[in-house]
């Protein structure tokens, strides 16, 4: 009996570790290949080894060489600008919307939540024509601010649903106690709900920041001139038009995109951890 239990336990552990190893290989291998390609001499990604035999920094230098046809630094700043404002706007709008759905009861509340889920199921590219026409009617083609508003609007439905669920777990007794002490709804939201919702706000912030950095479809529809390009558009044109299929330079540019994402994760990591700790000690 004990031998059978030990055998089943070993089988479960072996299967779990095997799945984790396979997932790690699938995720890490392309990343290592891209890093190696960014240091690989020449323009080809083809290599017999992940680590290049004669590594070079020429491709990274080429990105910031200041050529008229290559504006990588400008694209980088454009992407950071859009990502930062999208992150701020997403956190603010989602927090207010989720608080309203979590703490208030009003007509159409359930229908609105259902609509949010339905909107999230619609693919982004299905609305590109409508967004293109809207941008032209508003005279905001090639505008970063329109793109920021579209990104913020895209983050609201699902993130609102997630944050509402988190706010629902915060006891209503805290609100009632604060109201007895004379606190308004605004004060309750700012001084009680928001501090307790930091872990979910960190998730929303992370989603809002990373989304624009990797988006190509929406940004390529709105942005039209090289000076307004974001990194995905600039790197795409870098491969197809400017550099004559310089895939190694493209790899170097793609690797540098991960730097602000890594910094954002490190800054927000303590909030993720505090949320897990709070969840484990509640009650």
Return the domain boundaries, the chain. Answer: 2-60, 68-281
pTM summary value: 0.81
pLDDT of residue 145: 93
Least Cα distance to 141 among 236, 83, 221, 82 occurs for 221
Half-sphere exposure in the Cβ direction for 141 (13 Å, CA): 12
pLDDT of residue 89: 94
What pLDDT band is residue 250 in, cutting at 50, 70 and 90? Answer: confident
* Interval 157-212: pLDDT, tens: 888 888 888 888 888 888 888 888 888 888 888 888 888 888 889 989 998 999 88
Interatomic CA distance for residues 213 and 261, integer angstroms? 9
What pLDDT band is residue 279 in, cutting at 50, 70 and 90? Answer: very low
Interatomic CA distance for residues 200 and 276, integer angstroms? 11
Residue 69: is its pLDDT beyond 70? no
pLDDT of residue 158: 84
Q: Are 226 and 234 in contact (CB under 8 A)?
A: yes
* Interval 124-133: pLDDT, tens: 777 788 888 8
Interatomic CA distance for residues 225 and 227, integer angstroms? 5
What pLDDT band is residue 283 in, cutting at 50, 70 and 90? Answer: very low
Q: Greater confidence, 61 or 95?
A: 95
pLDDT of residue 60: 82
Superfamily of domain 68-281: MetI-like (1.10.3720.10)
The rounded mean pLDDT for the chain is: 81
pLDDT of residue 282: 40
Interatomic CA distance for residues 51 and 122, integer angstroms? 41
Q: Token digits for 42? A: 């020449």
């Amino acid at each position: 009996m004990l031998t059978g239990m030990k055998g089943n336990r070993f089988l479960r552990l072996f299967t779990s570790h095997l799945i984790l190893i396979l997932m790690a290989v699938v995720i890490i291998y392309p990343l290592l290949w891209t890093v190696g390609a960014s240091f690989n001499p020449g323009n080809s990604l083809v290599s017999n080894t992940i680590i290049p035999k004669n590594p070079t920094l020429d491709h990274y230098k080429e990105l910031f060489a200041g050529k008229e046809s290559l504006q990588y630094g400008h694209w980088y700043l454009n992407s950071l600008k859009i990502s930062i404002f999208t992150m701020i706007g997403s956190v603010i709008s989602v927090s207010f919307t989720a608080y309203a759905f979590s703490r208030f009861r009003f007509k159409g509340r359930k229908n609105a939540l259902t609509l949010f889920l339905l909107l999230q199921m619609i693919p982004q590219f299905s609305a590109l024509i409508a967004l293109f026409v809207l941008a032209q009617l508003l005279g905001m083609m090639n505008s970063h601010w329109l793109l920021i508003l579209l990104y913020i609007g895209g983050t609201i439905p699902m993130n609102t649903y997630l944050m509402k669920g988190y706010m629902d777990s915060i006891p209503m007794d805290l609100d009632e106690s604060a109201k007895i002490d004379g606190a308004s709804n605004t004060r309750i939201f700012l001084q009680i709900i928001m501090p307790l919702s930091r872990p979910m706000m960190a998730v929303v912030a992370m989603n809002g920041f990373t989304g624009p950095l990797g988006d190509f479809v929406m940004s390529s529809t709105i942005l039209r001139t090289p000076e307004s390009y974001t990194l995905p558009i600039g790197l795409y044109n870098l491969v197809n038009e400017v550099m004559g299929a310089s895939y190694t330079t493209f790899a170097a540019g793609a690797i540098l995109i991960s730097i602000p994402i890594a910094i954002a994760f490190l800054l927000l990591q303590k909030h993720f951890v505090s949320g897990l700790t709070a969840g484990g000690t509640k009650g």
